[in-house]
Chain A
Amino acid sequence: MTILNDPVSAKLGNRQQLSYIASQAADARLNVELETEGMTLNIGPQHPATHGTLRIIARLDGEQVVWAEPSCGYMHRGYEKLTEVRTFPQVTSLINRIDWLGSFANEVPFILAAEKLMNVEAPPRAQWIRTILFELSRIANVSLFLGDLGVQLGAITPVFLAFRDREYVLNLIESATGGRFHPNFDRIGGLKDDLPAGWIDETKVVMKKLRNFCDEIETLLFGNEIFQSRTRGIGVIPRDVALQYGLSGANLRASGVDWDLRRDQTIPLAYDKVDFKVWTHPDGDSFARCWVRLQETREATKIVDQLLDGIPSGPVMAKVPKIIKVPEGEAWVSTENPLGEMGYYVVSRGDLGPFRVKIRSASFNNISITPWLLRGVYVPDIITILASLYFILGDIDR
């Protein structure tokens, strides 16, 4: 009965409440029965499940976590400070290394913030191409998540299928921008260059392949009963808690919050020209988070298809001076990146470079919920939860 009076579960929706109660009850039962001496388990900094150097200190009781704390900073590269000694054009080449799987998406909010300060707007063609590349980097990022999910849960095949099909997207990004991983294609006032001939047709073919990949993953992984039993009801984030911890992106939408910056704010990108659905899931468990990401990948391929059909003609670069000096002021722009909300608060003092840049990266906020979420779960569920929260180390540590 104590669980029913739990302040968190009292405010939940029906499905969330059920899965939350089920998971908490199982843990509570076990805690009473097996009271053993604790053991501290260091997951990381070198551990296969932390894809990089995240360290999670977990105090275990048997295989159950009593207390957990993420310890980050092992890969801190100091981007906020580095940007202060770079000029504005140089910054984009650095910051696309923050979330290295969806690099182009990192450049966009910074460039938009700088454009906001300079009061220029990219020509429509540049905005459309920006949006296309933004969605392509989302596909490249999230499709790898879908494969990596399998590895974290013990299935080896999905990750190779993911690498196979992500390769097509990376080839597209490379043939358009020249950089496979780090495009550095965005400029203040537009884009570096126009698309090469034949790119649109090629992209359409690839989008079909990606939808096929989503179907394959759905059958291979999401339809598998073992996968469902591993993820359903595990790591339930109720709606209120998700909002309190400042989650964003698919993690928030999986808890039933219908919030997507692509739709909910007006920024000079072409999202208002396309018709797309923001997927949400009422459960808030690991399965919901993975499922929302799968649907988002599908939705992204449809967005790209729609955008490709209507690219306006014209220049890709607005009139900006050769040597860019951003006028004094402060601007905040955030976009819905593959991992969640990513924003830049740019302070300019009228110099060649920014005076101060504050980077809000999605993963850092997303993993801040882990001490709350990991309490009472089993060691295998730590991995499930971390995998479904989906962080990228560069995005946490910056």
Chain B
Amino acid sequence: MNTLFAAVIPYWGQSLLRVLGGLVAVLLPAGTIVYLFLFKMMSFMQSRLGPMEAGPYGSLQLVAEVGKWLQKEDIQPTNADKPVFKMAPIIVLMSTFLLVVVVPFGPDAWFTDLETGIFYALAVSSISVLGILMAGWSSANKYSLLGGLRAAGQLIAYELPMVLAVMGVVIQAGTMNLQQIVVAQNAGSMFGIDTFGNPYVITQFVGFIVFMIAIQAELTQAPFDMPIAESELVSGYMTEYSGFRFLIFFIGEFATAGVFAMIASTLFLGGWGVPFSWFGWTSMDSVANWMNVVGPLVVFTKMMVLTFLIMWVRFTYPRFREDQLQRFAWKVLIPVSLANIMLTAVLKVVF
């Protein structure tokens, strides 16, 4: 596969393109999310306009903010565990980059096409826990420590419902390859009607809800933002970070939101594809080549819709308490997703 590049570009060129593509796939959504949702949507929900001065309608605000953060002094607490302190934000951001690797953007536009793509994605997403725990521990600050411990407990607890929610999709699609999951959704038919394909958001609605709640918690967005909890823990594990390191955490937060939304859209909304029956395609091989260009835009649109949901919830709800969150994960989400798996498995066998 990857016929588009393989014939003409040497291997190092491909690698370079992939790195650039990865940067674009992570940073472009992150910037858009920050501007569109964090700056503008939040402001509009609070009946104000948000940043208006930098660029037209404040569109260059993020650039200005990055410039500001880059100028700031890089402060490290005296008692901090310096190497760990410096490494932590990079690990957090790294997990985002590792995640985007498996997201397919078109029939040939992908970075890697792992057979166990979703398995890999779930595995690397938990690396960020490590970074957060490192940040919390090495800061030599009690608030950071509390934040880091809360984050670790929360992220591990919500990993499980996320995996279980994905399980339903995997059972229904019969594959762990994200590319195949996309094809299965777009080429399939629902109740005999194949106009809309078979986006799993409908058949796996419970799984979708559980997955969205779980990624909300994974991203530490309100109502699950106790690790940061600015009114209790000042800024949680990020308290002692300033300047560029804080910027990495900040970008990492929203980039991860974007990437998780991409994965959710791949799993539940049909990813890069449009229903194949619209253009008379039947399988992966017959998909037109222009889908490689349109596909990323389709993913981007679906990602934006899901991020809107994430952010909307974030700006509306107060946060849970740590024990309530754990209770919610173990007593509600996990049983629900287990039941969902069971039902899916039964139905899969029946039909």
The answer to the question of B231 belonging to the interface, with a C-beta cut-off of 8 Å to chain A, is yes
Q: Which chain B residues lie closer than 8 Å to A157 at the CB level?
A: 42, 45-46, 315-316
Give the secondary structure class of B's interface.
loop
Q: A154-B225, A154-B229, A164-B47 are in contact. Are A63 and B322 (CB under 8 A)?
A: yes
Asked if B142 and A41 sit within 8 Å, CB to CB, the answer is yes
Asked if B231 and A383 sit within 8 Å, CB to CB, the answer is yes
The answer to the question of B82 belonging to the interface, with a C-beta cut-off of 8 Å to chain A, is no
CA distance A153 to B319 in the complex (A): 6
Q: A160-B47, A226-B319 are in contact. Are A48 and B231 (CB under 8 A)?
A: yes
Q: In A367-391, which residues have CB < 8 Å from any B CB?
A: 378-383
Q: Which range contains the number of B residues in contact with the other chain?
A: 20 to 34
Asked if B321 and A378 sit within 8 Å, CB to CB, the answer is yes
Per-residue A-contact encoding for B140-171, CB less than 8 Å = 1, 0 else: 00110010000000000000000000000000
Asked if A155 and B222 sit within 8 Å, CB to CB, the answer is yes
Q: A49-B231, A164-B47 are in contact. Are A227 and B226 (CB under 8 A)?
A: no
The answer to the question of B232 belonging to the interface, with a C-beta cut-off of 8 Å to chain A, is yes
Q: A226-B319, A378-B323 are in contact. Are A154 and B47 (CB under 8 A)?
A: no
Asked if B234 and A47 sit within 8 Å, CB to CB, the answer is yes
CA distance A49 to B234 in the complex (A): 8
Per-residue A-contact encoding for B224-240, CB less than 8 Å = 1, 0 else: 01100111111000000
Asked if B146 and A155 sit within 8 Å, CB to CB, the answer is no
Q: A155-B222, A157-B45, A379-B146 are in contact. Are A49 and B320 (CB under 8 A)?
A: no
Q: In A212-243, which residues have CB < 8 Å from any B CB?
A: 220-221, 224, 226-227, 229-230
Cβ contact of A226, chosen from B231, B315, B318, cutoff 8 A: B318
The answer to the question of B324 belonging to the interface, with a C-beta cut-off of 8 Å to chain A, is yes
The answer to the question of B331 belonging to the interface, with a C-beta cut-off of 8 Å to chain A, is no
CA distance A227 to B321 in the complex (A): 10
CA distance A161 to B43 in the complex (A): 11
Q: A41-B142, A63-B322, A378-B323 are in contact. Are A156 and B234 (CB under 8 A)?
A: no
The answer to the question of A39 belonging to the interface, with a C-beta cut-off of 8 Å to chain B, is yes
Asked if B48 and A154 sit within 8 Å, CB to CB, the answer is no
The answer to the question of A72 belonging to the interface, with a C-beta cut-off of 8 Å to chain B, is no
Query: Can you name 17 A-B pairs with beta carbons within 8 Å?
Result: A39-B142, A41-B142, A42-B142, A47-B234, A48-B234, A63-B146, A153-B318, A154-B319, A155-B222, A155-B318, A157-B42, A157-B45, A224-B317, A227-B318, A379-B232, A380-B322, A381-B321
Binding site for B on A (CB under 8 A): 39, 41-42, 47-49, 63, 150-157, 160-161, 164, 220-221, 224, 226-227, 229-230, 378-383
Binding site for A on B (CB under 8 A): 42, 45-48, 142-143, 146, 222-223, 225-226, 229-234, 315-324
Closest 6 CB pairs of A and B: A154-B319, A160-B46, A153-B318, A155-B318, A154-B318, A380-B321
